[in-house]
Each structure stands twice: as C-alpha cells, then as structure tokens.
C-alpha cells in the first residue's frame, strides 16, 4: 500500500496533469501505480490525455519529491485521502474536478449526512457576526459538519462558534500542512484538529499564493450540501465559492443586507441573478435542505426494496431499479432538489446500496 501511496502522490505532482485528467486516468487504469506502469500509447488513448500529456507522465523525473512527501506524511501522521478511498469526501466525486489526493489532519467524518459551508467577507460587520453565530447555534441540534476557509472574518467566526457549540468544523487550506495562513489562527487551527480538522490538496512547502485560493474554494463548495454566504462584496472571494457551488448544482443561500451596503452587495447580486436562495433564518434553511425529522410515510412493504431508508433515499432506489441514471435525471424523476438528491445518493453509497459509475452515473449495487 505504501508503494501505491507513493504513486498517488507522484500523480498529483506532474504539472501537465490536473484533477480532471487524473480522474480519467484512475477510472481507466484502476489505481495510480497502474497509471505509471501503463504504456505511453495506452495512456495517450484515454479521453482528454493525448500524446503530449502521456509523454510528460512517462518522462517525469520528480520521484524524489514524491518520496519526500511520503516521509512527511508518515512523520506528522497526516492522513492521505485518494479519490477511491472510503474516507474521501464523496460529495466531491459529484463534481467534475475533484482533487486527486487530499491531505487531512483531524477526527471528523468528512462524509457526515449533513455538511454545509459558511463563508463571507474578512471585514465583517456586527450583523454578519451575529447571523453566523445564531445560525450555528441553531444547527447544533442537527449534527451538522461546518466547512470554511480559516480566513479572517466570517470564516474564523464560523470555526470558533462551532468549537463553542461542540460542532465539528473543517478548515480548508490554500497551502500545505507544514505551515498556516493566517498565522494568527494557529491556536484556532490546533483546536480544530481535535474537533473537526484541517484539509488541503497541497503538499508541503506550498505557499498560500493567490492562485491557490480558487482551488481551495472549489473544495469548500464541493464537499458541502449547501453554501451559506453571510456577507460579501460583489467581487469578494466568497463570490467565487458561491459561483462554484452553483456550478456544482449545490444549494446556495445568501444573507440579505441593506441596499447600498458594500459588504452585502455580493449577496444581493447572487439572489438577483437566481444563483442563491434568500436566507431568512435557520429554520428555513433546515426545511429547504430536508433536515426536519419526519415520520416515515406508510408504504406497501412488498414494494419497498429497502425498508430502513428515508422517503428521499427510497425514491432514488426505486428509480434506479430501472437502470443507471445521472443525478440530473434522478432529480427530474423524483422531484428532489439537487442537494437533497446528492445527500440521499451519498447515504445510499455509504450503505453500499448505490455505486457511482464513470460519467456521473449511478446504479444499484
């Protein structure tokens, strides 16, 4: 397994390859080691790879760097999470560009049934702080995992409030786990490792450069059922995360603010362009996400394939008896929102009832 992990790390270090190409290669050859041992012609024949990328892979000479990263993980007890690992955040697999390999320090289950992202401006108002704290306090009863970016402002408020409310919280980083940005959050990050965790796709010695943050943001958006934007300017970094979440067909909620208030301009724009649902209160969020505890609907037991499933999960399972389908078709046939369907599919995957196929298709196991 150490040899396979070595090749998993190496696969992420080839500059000409990215998350999309790596996913195609892993789906074709099964594991990272098989990608490296395949013939150049076979690699080049994979859709989206081509002769030039295949040559770059076969001629790559950076194995010493991969070896150093492997030793770093072992020394600091960092958990690597590959695309095919059980502990890998499966919601990311519903995105077209999931990170090939994630590095994780923490104890939270990244595949909890309810996961949300809370994001916002670094220069928050007291209003934004209050909304964030009240929202997290209300979510405590629903055992929600809260994800954010460990930045100043709304991110830090969300993480700190989760620690106070005894909710797990994940900070997604734009650099390696050998450093921390901002350094001011060193103590906060230390506490989060014991009640949640720190997650990144970047190896050691990766600086928090500007171009790394959009990549970080796609993880924040993709590993959550919904993204809640508290406060942001029209061109704020949170807008990138919100737009990515919308692209991934996840629910986006935006907290309204006063017209003309610069810190609420982004939220108002998201609602105006129908990219976000107007956030009114935590109860509305909980209802929209389908997190209310409801009594199961009585069904004919002879027609119910899996009696322990929720109504949404049962609907997905019933439809998939007809054969494999993509998530968009499942949403159309069941009437579920994309986020509700994705959450149901995730639970079914964890119970080994449904499995994912190439091309974002799903079928019964």
Where along the chain do its domains lie? 2-76, 106-288, 311-364
Over residues 86-105, mean pLDDT: 93
Packed helices 265-272 and 237-247: angle between N→C axes, nearest 10 degrees: 20
* Mean pLDDT calculated for residue range 116-129: 93
Write down the pLDDT at residue 5.
94
CA distance 198 to 190: 9
* 281 pLDDT above the threshold of 70: yes
What pLDDT, on a 0 to 100 scale, did the predictor assign at position 300? 36
Q: Quick one: pLDDT at residue 358?
A: 61
Asked whether 296 and 121 are in contact (CB, 8 A), the reply is: no
Q: Which residue has the tokens 């950076």?
A: 62
pLDDT at 322: 76
**Mean pLDDT score across all residues of the chain:** 89
The CA-based dihedral angle spanning residues 66, 68, 73, 75, taken in that order and rounded to the nearest 10 degrees: 160
Residue 17: C-alpha distances to residues 37, 52, 205, 304 (Å): 16, 10, 20, 45
Write out the two tokens for 265: 């301009």
Cα–Cα dist 365/354, whole Å: 5
pLDDT given at position 172: 98
Q: What angle do CA 260, 261, 264 make, to 5 degrees?
A: 115
Confidence of residue 306 (pLDDT cuts 50, 70, 90): low
pLDDT of 77 above 70: yes
Mean pLDDT (whole number) for 241-257: 91
pLDDT at position 307 = 53
In the predicted model, is pLDDT for residue 359 greater than 90?
Answer: no
**Element spanning 259, H or E:** none
Give the CATH fold of the 311-364 domain.
Answer: Arc Repressor Mutant, subunit A (1.10.10)
Q: Which of 155-164, 168-177, 330-339 has the lowest mean pLDDT?
A: 330-339
Tens digit of each residue's pLDDT (9 = 90 or more) over 18-67: 999 999 999 899 899 999 999 999 999 998 899 999 999 999 999 999 99
Q: Above 60 in pLDDT, residue 271? A: yes
Q: Nearest-CA neighbor of 180 among 167, 193, 194, 165?
A: 193
Q: Which CATH number fits domain 106-288: 3.40.50.450, 3.40.50.720, 3.40.720.10, 1.20.120.160?
A: 3.40.50.450
pLDDT band at 304 (very low <50, low <70, confident <90, very high): very low
pLDDT of amino acid 297? 39
3-class DSSP state for residue 350?
Answer: helix
For domain 2-76, the CATH architecture is Orthogonal Bundle (1.10)
pLDDT at 100 over 90: yes
What value, to the nearest 5°, has the Cα angle with vertex 241 and ends 237 and 246? 140
Confidence of residue 303 (pLDDT cuts 50, 70, 90): very low
C-beta separation of 350 from 315 below 8 A: no
Would you state the structure tokens that stand for residue 357, as one six-digit string?
């196929």
Strand order in the sheet with 101-106: 79-82, 101-106, 196-200, 169-172, 145-148, 115-119, 226-229, 251-254, 277-278
Q: Do 106-288 and 311-364 share a fold?
A: no
pLDDT tens digits for 191-242?
A: 999 999 999 999 999 999 999 999 999 999 999 999 999 999 998 789 999 9
Q: Give the span between the Cα atoms of 349 and 328, in whole angstroms.
A: 17
- DSSP string computed for 275-309: SSEEP--HHHHHHHTT-S--PPPP--TTT-S-TTS
CA distance 118 to 149: 9
Give the model's pLDDT for residue 135: 95
Antiparallel, parallel or unpaired: β 226-229 and 325-326: unpaired
Residue 296: pLDDT band with limits 50, 70, 90: very low
Res 299 pLDDT > 50: no
Dihedral-angle region of residue 153 (phi above 0 means left; psi in -120 to 50 means alpha; beta otherwise):
left
Write out the DSSP string of 309-347.
S-HHHHHHHHHHTT--EEHHHHHHHH---HHHHHHHHHH
């Amino acid at each position: 397994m150490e040899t396979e992990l070595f090749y998993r790390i190496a696969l992420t270090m080839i500059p000409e390859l990215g998350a999309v190409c790596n996913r195609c290669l892993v789906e074709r050859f099964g594991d990272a080691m098989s990608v490296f041992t395949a013939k150049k012609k076979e690699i080049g024949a994979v859709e989206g790879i081509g002769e030039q990328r295949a040559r770059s892979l076969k001629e790559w000479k950076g194995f010493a760097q991969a070896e150093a990263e492997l030793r770093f993980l072992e020394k600091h007890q960092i958990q690597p999470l590959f695309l095919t690992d059980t502990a890998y955040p499966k919601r990311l697999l519903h995105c077209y560009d999931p990170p090939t390999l994630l590095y994780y320090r923490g104890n939270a289950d990244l595949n909890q049934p309810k996961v949300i992202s809370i994001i916002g401006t670094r220069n928050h108002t007291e209003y934004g702080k209050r909304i964030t704290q009240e929202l997290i306090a209300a979510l405590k009863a629903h055992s929600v995992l809260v994800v954010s970016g460990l930045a100043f402002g709304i991110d830090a408020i969300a993480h700190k409030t989760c620690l106070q409310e005894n909710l797990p919280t994940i900070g997604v980083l734009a650099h390696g786990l050998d450093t921390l940005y901002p350094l001011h959050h060193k103590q906060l990050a230390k506490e989060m490792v014991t009640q949640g965790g720190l997650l990144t796709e970047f190896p050691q010695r990766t600086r928090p450069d500007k171009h790394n943050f959009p990549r970080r943001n796609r993880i924040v958006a993709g590993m959550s059922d919904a993204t809640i934007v508290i406060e942001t300017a029209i061109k704020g970094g949170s807008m990138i995360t919100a737009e990515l979440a919308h692209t991934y067909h996840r629910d986006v909620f935006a907290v309204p603010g006063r017209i003309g208030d610069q810190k609420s301009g982004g939220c108002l724009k998201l609602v105006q362009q129908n990219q976000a649902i107007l956030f009114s209160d935590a109860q509305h969020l909980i209802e929209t996400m389908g997190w209310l505890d409801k009594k199961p609907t009585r069904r004919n037991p002879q027609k119910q394939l899996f009696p322990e499933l929720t109504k949404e999960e049962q609907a997905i399972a019933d439809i998939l008896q007809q054969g494999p389908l993509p998530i968009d078709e499942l949403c159309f046939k069941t009437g579920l929102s994309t986020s509700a369907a994705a959450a149901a599919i995730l639970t079914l995957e964890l119970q080994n009832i449904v499995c994912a196929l190439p091309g974002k298709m799903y079928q019964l196991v």
